[in-house]
Each structure stands twice: as C-alpha cells, then as structure tokens.
Amino acid sequence: MSEKRADRLSQLRNIPVFMKLPDSALGMLHGILAARSFHKGENIFTEGSESTGFYIVTKGRVKVFKLSAEGKEQILHIVGAKELLGAVSAFAGAPYPAHADAMEKTTAFFLPRKDFLALIQKEPSVVMNMMANLAMRLQHFTRLIEDLSLKEVPGRLAAYLLYLCERTGCSDVLEIDISKGQLASLLGTIPETLSRILRKMSDKGILEVRGRRVRLLNRKALHDIVNGEKMGL
Amino acid sequence: MSEKRADRLSQLRNIPVFMKLPDSALGMLHGILAARSFHKGENIFTEGSESTGFYIVTKGRVKVFKLSAEGKEQILHIVGAKELLGAVSAFAGAPYPAHADAMEKTTAFFLPRKDFLALIQKEPSVVMNMMANLAMRLQHFTRLIEDLSLKEVPGRLAAYLLYLCERTGCSDVLEIDISKGQLASLLGTIPETLSRILRKMSDKGILEVRGRRVRLLNRKALHDIVNGEKMGL
C-alpha cells in the first residue's frame, strides 16, 4: 500500500461520521474521493450553484456565508477539520444554499455525489453506519443542550468540553474556538469563575490548559461531573 | 386509499427526518412499518437485547435509561413525538445500549431493520434524504450552541424556541419540556427576566404563551432577534 493511501485511510478513519466503518468500506470511500486544497480566501462553492458532491475538511477552516442585498456578509457557520461541508445539499440533491470560502490554507476530501450514490447502492452498510453516527451525534448534541441547563457551572463546562471533543473527533487535545468571554457567557458565568474552575480541574489532573488548547486527561471524571459529582470543584 | 393509510402517510410526512420525501418513498416506508402502542410504564426494549429495528414515536413520551448496579435509574434522554427511538443501534446493527419505557400511553411506528435495508437498496433516495435531514439538524444544533453564547438573553431565547420547534417538527405550537427555572438557567438568566422577555415578545405579537405551550406567531422576527436585532426587547 502506498504511503499516501495509508495516510488518507487513517485520516478517513478519524472522521466522526465514518467512525467504526470496516476497512473494506473505508477503502471504497478512498476509491471515490479527490484530495483538494484551497488557499486563504479561495471560494469553494457559491450559493445557488448545483451541488456535485460534499467535502470533508482535513485541515484549516471554511466559512459558510450568505451575502445581503447590500453585499454584507452573514456567516452561517464555520466548518473545521473532520467536519462535513456541503453535505446537506449533496445528500438532498439540492443547490448549495450559501457560499463557502477558505479562511486559511485548507485541505479537504471531495466525494462526488454520483459516485457516492453508486457506492451506497453496492454497499448499504456504509450509509447505515453514517446514519448511525449522524443520529448518535444528534442525540449527544440534544443532550448537551439539556446539560447546559444544569445548575452548576462545572457540569456545564464538562459537558461543553466533551461536546467539543466529540464534534471535532478529538483524541484528547481540543481547541476552544470561541473567546473566553463567549465561553463564560455560554456557561452562564463570568470569565473569572470560568478561569477558577479550569484551574481547579487542572490541579486535579482532569485536564491541562495551554492558551486555547485543552488536553483532556481524565474523561471519566468529566462525565462524572456532568452527572452531578462535585469532585470538590 | 383507506382512511387509516392516508392518516399514517400524513403522520410520516410530518416527521422531521422524512421531510421532503416524495410520496412514492413515503408509500414504501408505509409498506414496511407496523403501528405499535404501549401503556404507561410498559417496556419497549431492554439494554443489551438485539436491535431488530427502530421506532418513530407518534404520540406520548419514552424514557431511555440505564440501571446502576444498585438498581438506580439514570435517564439518558426523553424521546417525544416525531422523534426517532433506537435508531442508532438499528442503523449500526448493534444491541440496544439502554432500556426504554413508555412514560405515558405511547404510540409509535416500528420499522424493521431488515425491511429498511432492503428498501434503501431499492430506493437509495430515501436514505440520502434522511441523511440530508440528519446532517441539517446537526448543523442547526451546532449553530444553536453557538447562538446560546450570544450576549443578549432575547437572542438566546429566540434561538432556543426555534431549536425546540425544529427538534419536534412543530408547525407553530411547541411545548417547553423543561421547567421555567431550568430554561432561565440554560439562557443564563433568572426566571423573572425570562418572564419579562416572554411578555414583551407576546406584546409585540411574536408569540403567545399559555402555560408551557408557546405559539410562534412571527418566526421571521425570532430569526432577526437571533441575528442581533433589538426589536425593543
């Protein structure tokens, strides 16, 4: 097996939506994908154009946005590594509903819709697995929204960190992509309290913070905190 | 067409995950489903048992839970009308990871995994449409989590109401399934502020509140509030 192929297969294996796919199915996906790369500011697709397939971002960040009549940009969401881009239109066979531009140097796998359709007809297990992953993530996100209504801030923070890790398919290091002020606001607290809790979690060996990078050292403890364990926080 | 069939087809058409499916595909789904009903407290499936298919709740509520070694119940989530139940295991071909009991008189459509697999092989558009819906909801939920970090409470509340409506496939009336205290906590405010904002929204004809029922009268206004419009709130 060539090094490039092995490298791509291992990238595919780490994409949340392809989790638990057998190697044979990953091989079939590898057979239909094209690796693409975009420079900072480059357009990936435009609103209203026909969707010919979907992307999986492997590196970088992409903004998905609409333009108002006055040309003002309204960002709908930012897609990062290991996330799907343009999937809704590709699955539905509808035009792209917005523009997408690379915010920095970005690489992605492109999966043509036509080839993907042929693949799932030959191998429906691929799509059943994808649906299981999508449905599971949906369930976890719904649960996060419930967890964010927990009374205690440590439980909210733990739920958010576990969510971020799941969204980005993190092994243990995750990057917080909003400011500390926004995060505190999301958790219904002030930045000072947030910092204090992070420091305590760090003292207890639950995680390690370096700027915006957080390394999760003890996920079980985080789950316990979500479930109401005090852990002296 | 019999009345019962027409009624079931119209129920299927209103399930978020089947949105936009053509009538022919809805007819195929109708052909494989079995209508089931459960009395209050009745077990629907048990942890570890083989998944033979998935359910779509049409009325009532189901709790999905685990039992600790001491027999204590830990509720993972509550599944309401128009939501999928047991789908992750059925799609993945894995055993049910938890127990499910009806919390009140509940009716559901059961879709056998075997028949569903045969259906999507014959008609892949069904599964592409389902994936589009799952991916879209995932995107919207991710966005909600970002919206909940907005500074202003009215924007958070508007985002949450639009999310609840989407989650339950509401046409305009939705039921808030958490207490006012929990909702205030989720939005990072106190119940008094929440009540005041709801009253103002109601005065402006944006919504109508009756106990836990909220009727959305002006969704565009809610979207505008999420996007930062003050609307005098």
For testing contact with chain A, the best of B57, B74, B149 (most A CBs within 10 A): B149
Entry pTM: 0.79
Paired tokens of B218 = 């002006």
Q: Is A178 helix (H, G, I), strand (E, B) or coil?
A: coil
User: What mean pLDDT comes out for the span B110-128?
Assistant: 90
Percent of chain B with pLDDT over 70: 98
The pLDDT, as a whole number, for residue B227 is: 79
User: What integer best gives the mean pLDDT of chain B?
Assistant: 88
d(CA B157, CA B226): 8
Paired tokens of B138 = 């995932």
Q: Is A175 helix (H, G, I), strand (E, B) or coil?
A: strand
In terms of average pLDDT, the best of A228-232, B3-7, B139-143 is: B3-7
Closest CB from B87, B121, B188 relative to A135: B87
First to last CA, chain B: 50
- Which amino acid is located at A104 in the chain? E
> CB–CB of B132 and A178 under 8 A?
no
> CB–CB of B128 and A91 under 8 A?
yes
The stretches in chain A having pLDDT less than 50 are none
> CB–CB of A178 and B149 under 8 A?
yes
Cβ-contact B208, B217 below 8 angstroms: yes
Paired tokens of B148 = 């909940």
The edge-to-edge listing of strands for the beta sheet with A99-102 is A43-45, A99-102, A62-67, A73-79
Q: At B49, is the pLDDT very low, low, confident or very high (cuts 50, 70, 90)?
A: very high
d(CA B24, CA B4): 17
Chain centre to alpha carbon of residue A162: 12
Sign of CA dihedral A114, A115, A117, A118: positive
Q: Is B138 helix (H, G, I), strand (E, B) or coil?
A: helix
> CB–CB of B151 and A185 under 8 A?
yes
What are the angstrom distances between the C-alpha of A128 and each of A205, B84, B87? 38, 15, 10
| Torsion angles phi and psi, residue B170, rounded to 5 | -70, 145
d(CA A57, CA A60): 7
Which positions in chain B touch A189 (Cβ < 8 Å)? Answer: 188
The pLDDT, as a whole number, for residue A109 is: 97
| Torsion angles phi and psi, residue A38, rounded to 5 | -130, 140
The pLDDT, as a whole number, for residue A30 is: 95
Query: Who has greater pLDDT, A218 or B182?
Result: A218
In this complex, how many residue pairs, one in chain A and one in chain B, have their CB atoms less than 8 Å apart? 132
> CB–CB of A145 and B149 under 8 A?
no
Per-residue pLDDT tens over the stretch A175-217: 887 778 878 877 878 889 999 999 999 999 999 999 889 999 9
The pLDDT, as a whole number, for residue B143 is: 77
Per-residue pLDDT tens over the stretch B196-213: 999 999 999 999 999 888
Residue B151 has pLDDT above 80, yes or no: no
Provide the CB-side half-sphere exposure for B203 (13 A, CA): 9
The pLDDT, as a whole number, for residue B1 is: 61
Percent of chain B with pLDDT over 90: 42
